Amino acid sequence: MKPTDIAAPDYFHKVVDCQWACPAHTPVPEYIRLIAQGRYSDAYMINWKSNVFPGILGRTCDRPCEPACRRGRVEETPVAICRLKRVAADFKDDIKQRLPKPVPKNGKRVAFVGGGPASLTVARDLAPLGYHCTVFDSDPEAGGMMRTQIPKFRLPNSVIDEETGYILGLGVEFKGGHRIESMKALLAEKYDAIFVGSGAPRGRELDIPGRKEAAGNIHIGIDWLSSVSFGHTDKIGKRVIVLGGGNTAMDCCRTARRLGGEDVKVIVRSGFEEMKASPWEKEDAIHEDIPILNFLVPVSFIHDNGKLTGVTFQKVKAEYDAKGRRNLVPSGEPDQTFECDDVLVAVGQENAFPWIEPDCGIEFDKWHMPKVDPKTFASTNPKVFFGGDAAFGPKNIIWAVAQGHDAALSIHKMLSGEDITERPLPEVHVSSQKMGIHEWSYDNDISIDKRFKVPHRDKVIALKDIKTEVELGYDVKLALGEAHRCLNCDVQTVFSTSLCIECDACADICPMDCITFTNNGEEDDLRHRLKAPSLHPDQDLYVSSDLKTGRVMVKDEDVCLHCGLCAERCPTGAWDMQKYFIEMTHAGSTCPTKSRSAA
Amino acid sequence: MTYIAKPKFHHPGLKKNELGYTHRDYEGKISTLCAGCGHDSITASIIEACYELSIEPHRVAKISGIGCSSKTPDYFLGNSHGFNSVHGRMPSVLTGANLANRDLIYLGVSGDGDSASIGFGQFAHSIRRGVNMTYIVENNGVYGLTKGQFSATADRGSKSKKGVTNTDNAIDLVAIALQLGATFVARSFSGDKSQLVPLIAAAIGHKGASFIDVISPCIAFNNHAGSTKSFDYVREHNDAVNRLDVLVGRDPIAVDYAPGTVQVVEQHDGSRIALRKIDADYDPHDRLGAQTFLAKHAAKGQIVTGLLYVDPDAEDLHEHLNTVETPLNTLEADTLCPGSSVLDKINASLR
């Protein structure tokens, strides 16, 4: 193998698995260390810069970082990254002084369709640069789906108000209750750029017999949730069936439990394991006495005199074809009918752009989605950008944020007369953490604690009031314990070939047997000659150039604890622990365009 | 040394030996020696050899004297018996322990000061008596604990870190061990685990006095130009006569060697050593030849490593003394003191 180029910004970035997996590339270990030090405001600001909604995401994020967390490969469970983010939000001081100050307007106007996470992120990035940002939303308050679709017992209004408030406080104009009905009309208002962050607002229908006849008791999940959110709906029948296996279904069933539903069940077509809902959301639902029944496909709504009485399901089983694709085929067992008073349909969401006229210069593909460049988020109309669910269909808030940052950068570049396809490189800082012979500026003593549970409110109390938040969040002590579980993967092991005397001290001390000194070879061959088996080929090998004996140092990054013992036991300083900090380029940051040396 | 304990986590894919232990289970406390010390690599090699042999840690007694080397038994086999004895007195303590309980595996760990100076006589007699043990000298050629004076194994003409030339003749412990009748003699290098680990494993399987001289560079005081015990010097002057694999059990030898290049030695415990010859003319069963070979190569400044001599049919001290099979420490009082009638018989036989 060729010697690893650690100057390439991506190499060490990949080692920080959580940050690499996060669509917004939040510097996770950095903020976790700050939490451990009690510097909650600093931790919050790092998050705020990167993911804009730390308090909201700390409660609702889909956590792509956690399955990636190295700790999950070392022991059973990853670090509770998401809930630590909430800790930063919960315990911070007043951070208003740290927010960007309003600047004189630069005369350029940007319109936003929809006031959800994508639009607000773009506005957050552009307003401090002097752009006049106008956000239109049909709802009276900002937040979009964060406010209307996520139940209050998971995400209280106060948190949404606070974090949308920080953005609107930057001088962003918010026009609530103002639905954009025509793109053509909006274009005619001569905005310099338009950002469409209107989400995926339409709940998918379930067109089976009885749907029309029993319509009074069949509700589309996301519409019903927003109706509950605005207080238009405050009760439901005692027996409720929720159809669908995603997170919306979980929100529906738990909301139903709080509005009078006593016998609430979730019924899904697929198997329990393949459900789209996050595992912790399924757990929370089950904890609230909501059974989840699987392999049942709804075939008809049963009704009596226009009143819904139940739903009939066909029993299916999973069969896998030669290519490993799953098909649901009838199991041959008799159909099963469940009685109920109400049904909530949460079988997916769709985009809908009836308000974009065909002659706006915005092209759509065969799935009726706008043609959007996945890097620049520009549509075929150079002035119109898309982001969030509106761009590529339903995903999570953190994706909307990440796309928002990219779209903001494009808008800023376009309005600065620059080529939007030229994307600036991230800024990378690498610095040694050595303080003394055995002292590092990070805590390298590896905690063996198991993941700490987030305290929940007592179920009886939680189910009584729809606005009572169920999760109480970590207290300071639990947060400290959980923060110590972080392996500081951003503190990198950096090897200097010229200093190595091949004494084997690092290979001997490494608790995870990551380091091997051996003859070089092709990657496949090398992976078979490591001191400990290579379990994850997607994890990189760090290979040195040739050493004095002609061998090379090979480090399997996979399960390195970043404990720094290799560097402590190295007599010549050939190993050093260096903190790698990567900042993604947002609109307005000084943009390096050449690759910077990482070490 | 380091301020933190070695993390308890280990690689999830570590292989387990017959006892279900990983090599991490054979570790001891974290080393307090200087960073990069060759002794730590010897520690790692002992751990690896014991792991590979699936040795039950409680069946091992590790005994040492005084010095950097003699600290190391604290760093391996944390669940074994240990005795950190007086300077140079490891061989006596080991001999006594071996006589009292012949069932344990004895690991004597010593250094060049401990064995070639203060304990030279003790070393000689334990070898001469054929105590069943693995005697490892971690040989760095300096007194590391007292900041780098020449030890008795430092080569004449080699230079200290300060630039002073050594004018005394060196003691070659391997030559002495051969001369004193050790039945397993080897030399290796801390920087070459692929050679050292099988040597230690083979020595443990050998019944009789096994002696391994391991050159172990002292990073702090003896790893400079002019030293003959530095990483660079040993790597440049290493003349390995053979490499070996230790084969546990009676499976056929699967490795396909060119004919005539492999010699299989069956050990007393049933394990076998496959010796891959590097020097075609070297015969590890020829004590006299080994002595001559060593002397010739030493004169050329070469360091001969590998398994230099082995007598697979060796006898140990217990056989010489015709002691009972049962370890003395488990003999009951009525066996040890069979009563006056037996004494009378003995007395009668002497009249």
pLDDT value, residue B237: 93
- What's A97-151 look like in SS3? HHCCCCCCCCCCEEEEECCCHHHHHHHHHHHHHCCEEEEECCCCCCCCHHHHCCC
Length of chain A: 599
Quote the CA–CA distance of B161 and B155 in Å, as a whole number.
14
Question: What's the pTM?
Answer: 0.91
Q: Which residues of chain B neighbour A439 with C-beta distances below 8 Å? A: 3
Do B2 and A549 lie within an 8 Å CB cutoff? Answer: no
Nearest to A21 by CA among A78, A83, A88, A77: A78
For the CA atoms of A190, A193, A199, A200, what is the dihedral angle to 10 degrees?
70
Cβ of B217 within 8 Å of Cβ of A503? The answer is: yes
Compute the C-alpha angle A153/A278/A115, nearest 5°: 60
- Interface confidence, given as ipTM, is 0.91
Q: Nearest CA to A109 among A128, A136, A124, A130?
A: A130
CA B150/CA B201 separation, integer angstroms: 31
The pLDDT value recorded for residue B258 is 59
Chain A nearest-CA distance from B236, in A, is 10
Q: What is the least distance, in Å, from the CA of B139 to any CA of chain A?
A: 15
Measured between alpha carbons, how far is A121 from B8 in angstroms, rounded to an integer? 43
Question: Are the Cβ atoms of A505 and B6 closer than 8 angstroms?
Answer: no
Q: Report whether pLDDT(B117) > 50.
A: yes
Q: How confident is the model at residue B250 (pLDDT cuts 50, 70, 90)?
A: low
Which residues contact residue A216 at a Cβ distance below 8 angstroms, ignoring those fewer than 6 apart?
Answer: A306, A307, A308
Beta bridge partners of A173: A134
What ranges in B101-182 are assigned the alpha helix state H? 112-116, 120-129, 173-179
Q: Which of B257, B232, B252 is nearest to B242 (CA)?
A: B257
Tokens of B161: 């870190």
Chain A residues inside the 8 Å CB shell of B12? 73-74, 535, 559
| The pLDDT of residue A153 | 96
A residues 438-497 closer than 8 Å to B (CB): 438-439, 444-446, 448
Q: Quick one: pLDDT at residue B259?
A: 56
Of B6, B11, B232, the CB nearest to A559: B11
Give ∠ CA B47-B52-B57 in degrees, rounded to 5. Answer: 55
Nearest to B318, CA basis, from B126, B177, B132, B182: B132
pLDDT value of residue B257: 54
Asked if residue B212 has pLDDT above 50, the reply is yes
Cβ of B10 within 8 Å of Cβ of A511? The answer is yes
Largest CA distance in chain B: 72
**Taking CB atoms and an 8 Å limit, are A504 and B191 in contact across chains?**
yes
CA distance B15 to chain A (A): 8
pLDDT in tens, B125-179: 999 999 999 999 999 999 999 999 999 999 999 999 999 999 999 999 999 999 9
Smallest Cα–Cα separation from B325: which of B23, B24, B101, B88?
B101
pLDDT in tens, chain A (599 residues): 999 999 988 999 999 999 999 999 999 999 999 999 999 999 999 999 999 999 999 999 999 999 999 999 999 999 999 999 999 999 999 999 999 988 899 999 999 999 999 999 999 999 999 999 999 999 999 999 999 999 999 999 999 999 999 999 999 999 999 999 999 999 999 999 999 999 988 899 999 999 999 999 999 999 999 999 999 999 999 999 999 999 999 999 999 999 999 999 999 999 999 999 999 999 999 999 999 999 999 999 999 988 999 999 999 999 888 888 888 899 999 999 999 999 999 999 988 899 999 999 999 999 889 999 999 999 999 999 999 999 998 889 999 999 999 999 999 999 999 999 999 888 899 999 999 888 899 999 999 999 999 999 999 999 999 999 999 999 999 999 999 999 999 999 999 999 999 999 999 999 999 999 999 999 999 999 999 999 999 999 999 999 999 999 999 999 999 999 999 999 999 999 999 999 898 998 755 444 444 44
SS3 A504: coil
| Cβ atoms of residues A151 and A176 within 8 Å | no
Q: What is the pLDDT of residue A594?
A: 45
Rounded Cα–Cα distance for residues B265 and B285 (Å): 10
Q: What are phi and psi of B3, to 5 degrees?
A: -85, -20
- The end-to-end CA distance of chain B, in Å, is 66
Contacts of B9 in chain A (CB under 8 A): 74-75, 446, 448, 511-512, 559, 561
- Summarised one tens digit per residue, pLDDT across range A29-65 is 999 999 999 999 999 999 999 999 999 999 999 999 9
For the four alpha carbons of A141, A144, A148 and A150, in that order, the dihedral sign comes to: negative
Binning pLDDT at 50, 70 and 90, where does residue B275 land? confident
Q: How far is A574 from chain B (nearest CA, A)?
A: 11
Give the tens place of pLDDT for each residue, B279-309. Answer: 878 899 999 999 999 999 999 889 999 999 9
Could you tell me if A509 lies within 8 Å of chain B, comparing CB atoms? Answer: yes
Looking at residue B249, its pLDDT comes to: 63
Any chain B CB within 8 A of the CB of A326?
A: no
- Tell me if A505 and B35 make a contact (CB, 8 A cut-off): yes
pLDDT (0 to 100) of residue A598: 41
Q: Mutate which of A504, A536, A556 to disrupt the B interface (most B C-beta within 10 Å)?
A: A504
Q: For residue B15, list chain A residues with Cβ-Cβ distance below 8 A.
A: 533
Distance to chain B for A32, nearest Cα, Å: 20
Supply the DSSP string of A319-358, one letter for each residue: EE-TT--EEEEE-SSPPEEEE-SEEEE-S-EE---TTS-G
Instruction: Note whether A503 contacts B13, CB cutoff 8 Å.
Output: no
What beta strand segments (E) does B59-204 contain?
Answer: 60-64, 81-84, 105-111, 133-139, 142-143, 149-150, 184-189
A204 closest CA partner among A225, A221, A226: A221
Instruction: Look up residue B221 and give its two tokens.
Output: 């005081």
Nearest residue in B to A563, CA atom: B7
For chain B, give the mean pLDDT: 92
Element (H or E) spanning A42, and its range?
Answer: helix A40-51
**Radius of gyration of chain B, Cα coordinates, nearest whole angstrom:** 21
Q: Does A427 touch chain B (CB under 8 A)?
A: no
Of the candidates A446, A505, A533, the beta carbon closest to that of B36 is on A505
Residue type for A52, please? V
Q: Which of B163, B292, B169 is nearest to B221 (CA)?
A: B163
Per-residue confidence (pLDDT) for residue A595, from 0 to 100: 43
- Provide the token pair at B194: 């692929």
Interface membership of A563 toward B (CB under 8 Å): yes
Instruction: State how far residue B49 is from chain A, nearest Cα, in angstroms.
Output: 14
**Neighbour-count burial of A538, counting CB atoms closer than 10 A to its CB (0-12 exposed, 13-18 middle, 19+ buried):** exposed
Say what the pLDDT of residue B251 is: 58
> Residue A121 and residue A142: Cα distance in Å, rounded?
12
- How close does chain B come to A528, measured CA to CA in Å? 13
